[in-house]
Amino acid sequence: MLASADTSQSWHQLLDSVRAGDQPLLATSRRASRLGVFEDIFVLSLKRRYDRRERMETLRSALGLNWTYAFATEAADPKVSLILDHIRAVRANYTQKDFFWPPPPPPPGPDLLMSLAGAELWVIDPSDPHASSATPPSDQEYLPEIFLGDFTPFGKGALMTRPRIATYLSHMNLVRRIADAPDANYSALILEDDVDADWNIQRTVRRVWDAHHALPEDWDMVYLGHCPPIGHDADARNSEAHFPHVPGAPELRPSRGPWCTHAYALSRNGARRLLTHMRYELFAFSRPVDNAYVHLIMNNRVKSFTFLPPVVVQVRDGVSDIWGTDMTGKVSKDDLVDSTLERIALARLQQQPAQSRIETDVKRHTDHPT
């Protein structure tokens, strides 16, 4: 077993030379705990998903990173019911023609904090004097989902299930945390708990951040990974691959349609701008959070960039907390140039006794014959 070796320098060195042709780092100390770029890395995870955090800890140890787990909101949380109730009440008399974008976020006050506003007030304690009074507590049974139809001027809207609303709220809470950072130059990376990362992620990210003027000073978001458009969304207009890279940074392109939210960075100012829209009562919870981000990007409400190829991808090998079904093999798979989880698997295989390696190889070919 590798439990005692996972956090050691020898473990890093083994992973750094596990593939033929590897050119290992001169010293593992060159690996910065937050990729040498961000002040914080947050990982969103449901409290009950110990299995996912166990795998994330394996990834963290291999890459030599430090991050903070932020517990996500469960679909059964009473706050989700409050949000559904407020959506029905607040938007009952609105139509597309009433929609307009909110003004830019106000400049920071003396305490640098943005005041609670909009949909944030829907989920605070009703006894709080700042709580929204848009609707009284409902005695009727809460609907499990709501279809927002054509309320916003962005197509057909979306069926907002309880898991989708909980996911939106979880991301909005983290965006608020970043927006409240005291340092104006603060930035953070948000990961979900079902990812794999490129073994050279630090080199790649640092190369982009260090490239002169590659990333503008007023950047808001940077996707380290995204889901490519599929089906009716697989239009050239929405695919980063069809557009030129940022001068000086061939790994980076202006964002066009970066679906999914498993790996994205925010500047503090970007978080403030994003929060202003996420909590806006005429837009909040109107669609899944990744869909909301895409609409904000395409309407030039936030300035976003995307790594291509991605340096973080989702690991789609189990039951989705949003869809409730096994997603293995049901959606397109993004490939990393050099998967860290694959390196870990190779290293563990190489450390097995010879007979055990043979048995593993036989079982693999039996289960998946070529």
Q: What is the DSSP letter of 249?
A: B
- The pLDDT, as a whole number, for residue 326 is 46
Query: What is the structure's pLDDT at 88?
Result: 78
Residue 85 has pLDDT above 50, yes or no: yes
The phi and psi torsions of 306 (rounded to 5 degrees) equal -135, 135
Distance in angstroms (rounded) separating the CA atoms of residues 163 and 174: 17
Q: Output the CA torsion sign for 351, 354, 356, 357.
A: positive
Backbone angles phi, psi at 147, to 5 degrees: -100, 120
* Angstrom distance (rounded) from CA 226 to CA 259: 6
Residue 209: CB atoms within 10 A of its CB come to 18
Confidence of residue 154 (pLDDT cuts 50, 70, 90): very low
How many Å apart are CA 8 and CA 38, to the nearest integer? 24
How many angstroms separate the CA atoms of 347 and 214, rounded?
Answer: 36
Expressed in angstroms, the distance from the first to the final Cα of the chain is 29
- How much is the pTM? 0.81
Write down the H helix ranges in the chain. 9-16, 50-63, 78-90, 162-179, 201-210, 268-278, 289-298, 340-351, 354-367
pLDDT at 130 over 90: no
pLDDT of the residue at 204: 93
